[in-house]
Structure 1
Amino acid sequence: MDSRFVRATIRHLLTVIFLGICMMWIMAPTNTYLQKWRPSIHKKLVSTYFGTQAPSMLIWTFPVLFVASLGSLYLHLGKNSNQDASQSNEKKHRRALWRKPVLVKGPLGIVSGIELALLIMFIALLVWSLVTYLRRLHTITPKAAAKEGVKVWEMKLFDVALWIGLTGNVCLAFLFYPVARGSSVLPLLGLTSEGSIKYHIWLGHMTMVLFTIHGICYIIDWAVTGNISEMLKWSHSHISNVAGEIALLGGLGLWAATFPQIRRKTFELFFYAHHLYIIFVFFFILHVGIDYTFIMLPGFYLFIVDRYLRFLQSRTSVRLLSARLLPCNVVELNFAKTHGLTYNPTSIMFVNVPSISKLQWHPFTVSSNSNMEPDKLSVIIKSEGSWSTKLHQMLSSPIDRLDVSIEGPYGPQSNHFLRFANKSYQLKTLFLLSLLKNYLTVQIFFRHDTIVMVSGGSGITPFISIIRELIFRSKISQCKTPDMILIAVFKSSLDLTMLDLLLPMTGSPSDLSNLKLHIEAYVTKEKEPTTDNSKRVRSILFKPLPTDKPMAPILGPNSWFWLAAIISSSFIMFLILIGIITRFYIYPRDHNNYEFSASTKAVLNVLAICVSIAATASAAVFWNKKQYSREATQVQNNEGQAPLGSPNLRAYNGDRELESLPHQSLAQATKVHYGGRPDLKRMLFERKGESVGVLVCGPKKLRHDVAAICSSGLADNLHFESISFSW
């Protein structure tokens, strides 16, 4: 069966399920759902095997996990499929309009039209939920209040506190989707994990605001009614107030460390405080009970799957081959990898160096290209914080080996700045290309006529991977490649050595012969070139241990297929485990009358979920590890005594004199300006192509300036995209 037909069928099915999930969120606060639908579903589904939690599992958890599993299969089938480039100009124009920035400055940062529309829709859902709940206030009468022995406003405050908490749970239900890095949900929506962090931040703030108001309202109500002892209540079969207070305190501690003033100055505090999410979620479950937890569980379930897979990947010490230390305090680390590990430009990888900190993981841009460099993966690290400064100091002293663990890489599902038509081939090596180039006609349609990349400082790193990708594509393409303009802003002339990294270590000047690349470099704090012969580029060859393994995909080359298997099989295993526990342990004591300890029931469900995910994910990783261990051994055996083709690495800890623009081909394509900043408005408006892609990465002000120019409406051909990492 044609994979395109299967994908189209899956896509339509996913759309139907997604619309059904949206409908349920809209109907959840209404009387129709609460008084008609839920009692009817509850009556039909409550059983001796799944107890009273069956309706919530079916309505809220199962559809989302089914979407995640089916979405993983959809991505697996589309991994090597052709991408259609034959979209109409009108459709392309509409999509470009939605992607244009509409908000540039403000607390939300740079927000596109579609992001603003989705944010407004989500806020509308919150307002709808809260207003629908508040409409029940008229049912609270003096007679009803007198019956409870309280005043009307006290009874209303109590119910308002409950409804605010229910509304906060809507935010919590979506909070973990953006931080599940390897989940299929984000790629289905055309998102990446690093690009979705801002959604996590928005949701986190809304969640904590609503839950804080929820807790304060209850405390006020208990204080004025003389029931302050309720704060110490841990109900046997219903809501546990103490658990809710612990969850709120954990959330407040986490929330306080997320504000920019703290996150930027003391990243370690931000990082460690974020682990309070474990306390927050666990005691939230104990607070509301497992039945209600299934409403927010799907996003957290996918996060647990992703987190456990990351844990398994991080247990291996990867094979670090070499490093380059540039005079501008930049380090390039080069790791060995298997051919099965592929990634797209602008991908990121999380790095941990146990000798610096066993707990800290920091994201860095992958600068290598999996097509041009099938045996190696490189990341570039700028010494700006305490962690990266310690790493640079370690590498500056004589060192034979560095123990490093990694998570990732993570990145976009496709090369979004390219469009393919007719036949496209995943050529793993240039050697294979040389064998087939006389027999294949590979046509590549580029999304833009011109690509303008604006970088500030270390923001140049994601553009290195894009340039290398286009170098590769220019060699296999039979059509015109887009014009490329790199506008790089640096503080000092020493930073110009970062341009040395544009070409791979195995590269040559001929790599740029088919690429129309022009570089405009600006040195802002110097008015004339300066040289310092004492500054040298240091190259280090490491001596890895036999136990150090080349980087490999944790779930093998068919990772999306295996992820679908893990999600579906783990949920089935959970259903079996909890069915046995309920039937033979909970039901004989409870008989579905809410007499069994709610906390014990919640803990048993959490344990069943953790065991199911750990068992299925471990089995999948173990199976794939056996498959690629042979390739990993072959990679280690094939590593020659000489370094990977770089003339700079001919000697262990060898040095070479500083050259501002080391490659002659790059020097010819580069123009350096001293003592000023680029006139971005003029440079962008001068681009007269039909479609100009504008990518920017760097300081916040630089991104905002470029976004303002592209969204000004003075040039319809500018299509903006920001590459930023708000970790």
Structure 2
Amino acid sequence: MYFTDFKRMRCQEKQNLWSAPLIVDRGGPHKGKRSIMVRAAMRVVVLGLCLGILMMWIVMPTSTYKQKWVLSIRAKANTRYLGTEGANLLVYTFPVLLVALVGCIYLHMGRKGGEDDYNASSSGEKQQNRSQKWWKRPVLVKGPLGIVTSTELGFLIMFIALLLWSFSTYLTNFFSNLDPNSGEQIWQVKLDDTALAFGLVGNVCLAFLFFPVSRGSSVLPLIGLTSEASIKYHIWLGHIVMTLFTAHGLCYIIFWASTHQIKEMIKWEKTGISNLAGELSLLAGLAMWGTTFPRIRRKMFELFFYTHYLYIFFIVFFIFHVGMNYAAIMIPGVYLFVVDRFLRFLQSRRGVRLLSSRVLPCEAVELNFSKSPELTYTSTSTIFVNVPSISKLQWHPFTMTSNSNLEPDKLSVVIKSEGSWSKKLYQMLSSPSTADRLDVAVEGPYGPASTHYLRHDKLVMVCGGSGITPFISIIRELIFRSATLNTKTPQVLLICAFKNSRDLTMLDLILPLSGTPSEISHLRLQIEAYVTREKQPADAGNDDKNLLRTVWFKPNAADMPIHAVLGPNSWLWLGLIISSSFVIFLILLGILTYYHIYPIDKNTNKIYPAAAKSALNMLFICVCIAMTSTAAFLINKKGSSAKAKQVQITNAPTPLTSPGSWFYNADRELESLPTQSLVQATNLHYGSRPDLKKILFDCEESSVGVLVCGPRKMRHEVATICSSGLAENLHFESISFSW
């Protein structure tokens, strides 16, 4: 009964796949050339804007900027409408938001024009990729920063140089104009100035802090980064920010104590700097900082997760501390983060259709969701999953194993039972009394704008345990391209290290439950699986615990397939949200300033309360983002709801055997050619670990892409081999998650 239904579903998937149009002419080669030229022009514009922003950061600490540039800009800006912060909004906020807007258009044109690095497989582009290998090579492997490439190290050095330049320039200007008050000594005045310099430099770091965690922002993919890969930058910046702000606060406390002004700690100035607000912001930051260290984050993830919500208080009280005028420097990163966060909130309110779950004997589960065929994503993309019955607040990221080309109507993730949240989920799904329905919410998917795996002659994928999940999506994409599009794909060597035989069932997930073309022999795939803690295969016998189970869930009319939060033209809609919300914010700010603040304050900043002005500015930003984002979301939701189809799933039995149980000699469907090919491509090794150095050095192809995902020790070993310089054909890429 089960195998008959399974074969019927597979045939239907094949028919849908082969009947779909594979190539769409969108205007011929001339339109493609125009698109490439326009995108090149956009890259030039973005580069010019970034250089201009960098120049402002470099000049900002100098006396020339303060005494000449600022006065000139304020004289030209109509402060009657925007107040004194109008100049800072023009200099610091507007250029960054313009970069984000251009990035949205750039990414949209790349998606619609079909410009994908997968297609960049010509010999010339391959040669260019190889010649640029040096700046992707790891130069630091072991240490507090983890694996750092040449490019990352170069930018890190330049960023540290910017901080040192800013700090030294501020101190030079401050110390050249020392003016001790009565009763203050020179060292106390210098301590006061040093404390201020720490705060000013800390604000430079804070301006960049929120960019890496804006998952749907256009800034990261514009420069070839993903939110997952950028988490380590957020960690680096967070440590620097909190070090500088802690030094800023401690120096002021020492200064106040030494000059008998300890009451300054509880002052909240009406029109100036609010010391109390700054201390509250610092306390919130210290609470977050204390839970970010690896030992605490890994052992007490819930504490780390919930404590990080204090970022709201950190930002709000920081703006109260310095005022909106100076906060305009860090507003762009926060602005884009708020847009992204609100869109994620809107998406998470929709119930999604969970089709089935495959429960593996290695205490892992595969969740299969229904998705809209219009939703496309690249390999190694991630999605955030929330199960309200376990925790309404916890969201956990997982790499998607499905492929949007091979499985146009389904999206899959694999969850290994390792933490308390995932263990509860596994127990729920593996229990015989599992309910026929599970409420799940998702955010995403998020991933790279394009991938480059076809540029290599061979791919070597090294993984440990659940680290195989990002490689499953890559293999499925290569299966689709080799079998369906008849595209030449690189040879694939998958090296897996597992603790015991039960973990071998993770290899079952390489092939989806349905929809796999039978002609996968075109894919040159070789799997080397190592079981490190067993000397020989385990005797599974007839134990049902060793068999893979499939659980089917009943459909619910309220649930919808997973859609892109802003539809198929999401980048255009995001650009519209960013631009329209900022324009509306400026209009509201102009009305408020012209009719209410300016008649009272006359731009002196000495009468109108600074806290009220900051609160109104924050309120306007949130209202504008909420209005525009909600409108865009509802318009796209209406369109997606009209196209959504009701998924009818018949009640299917939950079998004890499955297409993935061949490692345990369970009954197999004799006509399952894809699985037979997968078995023939797999070599099992018991009681040993892979000799990675020998395997990598034996690769003779001219370009070998080396991808690794697994424990830190494994990543460091592979990075050390690739960075040794003994094999020039190895191109290293680490896929790791720092959540």
Structure 1 residue 653: Cα displacement: 6.3
Contact 2:357 2:552 in 1 (8 A): yes
Q: Which moved more, 1:89-98 or 1:527-536?
A: 89-98
> Matches of 1:107 and 1:36 in 2, distance apart?
42
| CA contact 1:140–1:155 (8 Å) conserved in 2 | no
Quote how far apart the aligned CAs of 1:511 are.
4.2
Q: 1:529 aligns with which of 522, 526, 537?
A: 537
TM-aligned CA deviation for residue 240 of structure 1: 0.1
How do residues 170-319 of structure 1 correspond to structure 2 at under 5 angstroms? 170-319=204-353
Match of 1:116 in 2: 153
Which range is displaced more, 587-596 or 363-372? 587-596
* Conserved 8 A contact 1:541-1:653: no
Residue in structure 2 matched with residue 629 of structure 1 by the alignment: 641
1:538 aligns to 2:572 (yes or no)? no
Which range is displaced more, 575-584 or 232-241?
Answer: 575-584
Q: Is the 8 A contact 1:483 1:517 kept in 2?
A: yes
Distance 1:452 1:609 in 2: 47
**Residue 382 (structure 2) aligns with:** 348
Give 1:492's aligned amino acid.
N
Alpha-carbon offset, residue 46 of structure 1: 4.4
Contact (CA 8 Å) 1:290, 1:605: kept in 2 or not? Answer: yes
Equivalent AA in structure 2 for residue 449 of structure 1? D
Please name the residue that 1:659 is paired with: 662
Instruction: Give the direction of change, closer, same or farther, for the CA distance of 1:479–1:374 in structure 2 (3 Å limit).
Output: closer
Helix, strand or coil at the partner of 1:369: coil
What SS does the aligned partner of 1:214 have?
Answer: helix
Contact map agreement 2:213 2:337 (CA 8 A) in 1: yes
User: Are the counterparts in 2 of residues 489 and 677 from structure 1 also a CA contact under 8 Å?
Assistant: yes
> 2:577 — aligned with what?
566
Give the superposition deviation at 1:23.
0.6
In 2, the alpha carbon distance for the partners of 1:20 and 1:413 equals: 26
Q: Report the Cα distance in structure 1 between the residues aligned to 2:321 and 2:391, rounded to whole angstroms.
A: 34
Equivalent position SS for 1:461: helix
SS at structure 2 position matched to 1:513: helix
1:654–1:528: structure 2 CA closer, same or farther, 3 Å change rule? Answer: closer
Asked if structure 2 preserves the Cα contact closer than 8 Å seen for 1:323 and 1:332, the reply is: yes
Q: Which residue of 2 aligns with 1:52?
A: 84
Q: Which amino acid aligns with 2:224?
A: G
Q: 1:335 aligns with which of 362, 369, 373?
A: 369
Contact 1:528–1:674 (8 Å) recurs in 2 = yes
Cα shift at 1:583: 1.4
Name the CA shift for 1:518/1:85 in 2 (closer, same or farther; >3 Å).
Answer: closer
Letter in 1 for 2:254: I
8 Å CA contact 2:125, 2:455 repeated in 1: no
For residues 387 and 655 of structure 2, the distance between their equivalents in structure 1, rounded to whole angstroms, comes to: 20
Q: CA deviation at 1:42?
A: 1.6
Please, which of 149, 164, 174 is the counterpart of residue 198 of structure 2? Answer: 164
Distance, in Å, in 2 between the alignment partners of 1:184 and 1:402 is 33
Q: Aligned with 2:273: secondary structure?
A: coil
- Are the structure 2 counterparts of residues 262 and 149 from structure 1 closer, same or farther at C-alpha, using a change threshold of 3 Å? same
Letter in 2 for 1:25: W
Say whether the 8 Å CA contact 2:93–2:328 is kept in structure 1: yes
Identical aligned residues as a percent: 60
2:520 is matched with which residue? 512
**Deviation (angstroms), 1:476:** 4.1
Look up the match of 1:129. 166
Partner of 1:437: none
- Is the counterpart of residue 388 in structure 1 residue 399 in structure 2? no
Cα distance change, pair 508–573 in 1 and its aligned pair in 2 (3 A): closer
Aligned residues: 686
Does residue 592 of structure 2 align to residue 584 of structure 1? Answer: no
Distance 1:155 1:674 in 2: 69
Q: 1:685 aligns with which of 674, 693, 697?
A: 697
What is the deviation of 1:138?
3.8
Partner of 2:436: 400
Shift of 1:588: 1.7
CA contact (8 A) 2:549 2:654 kept: no
**Partner amino acid, structure 2, of 1:720:** F
1:510 CA displacement: 2.4
2:448 corresponding residue in structure 1: 412
2:708 to 693, 696, 699: 696
Q: 2:56 aligned with 1:24, yes or no?
A: yes
| Separation in 1, partners of 2:58, 2:176 | 22
- Show CA shifts across 1:82-103 (max 9, x none): 3555546664334211001000
In the alignment, what sits opposite 1:441?
none
Q: Is the partner of 2:132 in helix, strand or coil?
A: helix
Which amino acid in the other structure matches residue 572 of structure 2?
F
* Offset of residue 149 of structure 1: 3.4
Cα gap change, 1:39 to 1:242, in 2 (>3 Å): same
Matches within 5 A, 1:68-87: 68-81=100-113, 82-83=115-116, 87=124
Q: Deviations over 1:275-330 (max 9, x none)?
A: 11111000000000000010000001000000000000000111001001000001
Matches within 5 A, 1:431-580: 446-478=454-486, 480-508=488-516, 510-532=518-540, 533-534=542-543, 535=545, 536-580=547-591
Task: Report the RMSD for the aligned CA atoms in angstroms.
Answer: 1.5
Q: Is the 8 Å Cα contact of residues 334 and 378 (structure 1) preserved in structure 2?
A: yes
Once the 2 structures are TM-superposed, how far is the Cα of residue 509 of structure 1 from its aligned partner? Answer: 7.4
Output the CA distance in 2 between the equivalents of 1:316 and 1:725: 26
Cα distance between partner residues in 1 of 2:42 and 2:569: 18
Q: 1:511 to 1:489 in 2, by over 3 A?
A: farther
Specify the SS of the correspondent of 1:323. Answer: strand
**Counterpart position of 1:717:** 729
Amino acid at match of 2:66: L
Shift of 1:137: 4.5
Matches within 5 A, 1:95-114: 95-114=132-151
| Aligned match for 1:375, one of 405, 409, 412 | 409
Counterpart CA distance in 1 for 2:317 and 2:259 is 26
Is the deviation greater in 577-586 or in 617-626?
577-586
Distance in 2, Cα, partners of 1:454 & 1:154: 57
Secondary structure in 2 matching 1:48: helix
**Structure 1: gaps of 5 or more residues:** 418-445, 643-649
Q: Is the 8 A contact 1:46 1:53 kept in 2?
A: no
CA distance in 2 between partners of 1:340 and 1:148 (Å): 71
CA distances 1:240-272 after superposition (whole Å, capped 9, x unpaired): 000000000000000000000100001000000
CA distance in 2, matches of 1:391, 1:137: 58
The TM-score, its normalising length taken from structure 1, stands at 0.92
Cα distance per residue 1:473-497 (max 9 Å; x no partner):
1124455321100000000000111
Contact in 2 for aligned 1:46/1:52 (Cα 8 Å): no
What is the CA–CA distance in structure 1 between the aligned matches of 2:126 and 2:622, rounded to whole Å?
49
Q: Would you say the 8 A contact 2:129–2:455 is kept in 1?
A: no
Query: 2:83 corresponds to which letter in structure 1?
Result: G
Question: Structure 2 length as normaliser, TM-score?
Answer: 0.91
1:357-400 CA distance string (max 9 Å, x none): 00000001100000010010000000000000000111122211
Partner of 1:601: 613
Q: In structure 2, how many angstroms separate the alpha carbons of the residues matched to 1:12 and 1:339?
A: 34
Distance across 2 between alignment mates of 1:598 and 1:28: 23
Which runs of 5 or more residues in structure 2 are unaligned? Answer: 1-30, 669-674
Task: Report the secondary structure of 1:510's partner residue.
Answer: coil
**Distance (whole Å) between structure 2 residues aligned to residue 713 and residue 279 of structure 1:** 48
Deviates more, 1:339-348 or 1:478-487: 478-487
Aligned partners of 1:601 and 1:511: how far apart in 2? Answer: 66
Paired with 1:556 and 1:508, the residues of 2 have a C-alpha distance of 27
Are the aligned partners of 2:407 and 2:515 in contact in 1 as well (CA < 8 Å)? no
